[in-house]
């Protein structure tokens, strides 16, 4: 297993991995590779982007897209996407990427790591198991245009 910072040439393989990861149960999304590529490029092109890829046996097995944020109390690292190839989930790859994000945060002055997840999906239990806590005082809101 090898974790390294994400590079531009990782975007297309990451888009394929996102499609493979999210178009099956329990998510059952309907991503196509082109839309996934555009989605991930939007994160990658942000000035505050932070990303990591995890390779195993020479193959991309997991990826994390994140960005840094300035806040009045403390700087923050916000995880936007974390996905692991379906056949290697529950092998510690997701935890390894979380550990890498925490290490990055400590080394670069981002002591707080945030993320958003669906509480009805397995990822919620994964994050709880990895010592993330819900913030009851925040609520996710949206409005159809």
What are the backbone dihedrals phi and psi of residue 118, each rounded to the nearest 5 degrees, phi first? -85, 120
Rounded to an integer, what distance in angstroms lies between the CA atom of residue 97 and that of residue 40?
A: 17
Residues 6+ apart with CB under 8 A from 115: 78, 79, 80, 82, 127, 132
Q: What is the pLDDT of residue 99?
A: 96
Residue 64 is given by DSSP the state: E
- Domain segments of the chain: what residues? 2-129
Residues with Cβ within 8 Å of 134's Cβ and at least 6 positions away in sequence, in order, are 119, 128
Residue 50: its pLDDT value, please?
98
Q: What confidence score (pLDDT) does residue 63 get? A: 98
For the segment 34-81, what is each residue's pLDDT rounded down to a tens digit?
Answer: 999 999 999 999 999 999 999 999 999 999 999 999 999 999 999 999
Domain 2-129 fold? Aminopeptidase (3.40.630)
116 vs 31 pLDDT, higher one: 31
User: Distance between CA atoms of 67 and 63, rounded to whole angstroms?
Assistant: 14
* 124 pLDDT above the threshold of 90: no
Indicate the pLDDT class of residue 136, thresholds 50, 70 and 90: confident
- pTM comes to 0.91
Taking all residues of the chain, what is their mean pLDDT, rounded to a whole number? 93
What's the pLDDT score for residue 116? 87
Q: How far apart are the first and last CA of the chain?
A: 44
């Amino acid at each position: 297993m090898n974790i390294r910072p994400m590079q531009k040439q990782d975007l297309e393989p990451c888009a394929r991995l996102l499609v493979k990861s999210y178009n099956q149960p329990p998510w059952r999304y309907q991503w196509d590779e082109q839309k996934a590529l555009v989605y991930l490029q939007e994160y990658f092109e942000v000035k505050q982007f932070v990303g990591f890829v995890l390779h195993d046996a020479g193959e991309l097995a997991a990826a994390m897209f994140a960005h840094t944020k300035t806040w009045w109390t403390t700087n923050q690292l916000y995880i936007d996407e974390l996905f692991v190839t379906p056949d290697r989930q529950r092998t510690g790859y997701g935890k390894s990427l979380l550990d890498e994000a925490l290490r990055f945060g400590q080394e670069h002055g981002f002591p707080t790591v945030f993320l958003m997840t669906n509480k009805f999906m397995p990822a919620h239990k994964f994050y709880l198991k990895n010592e993330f806590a819900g913030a009851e005082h925040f609520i996710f809101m949206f409005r159809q245009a």
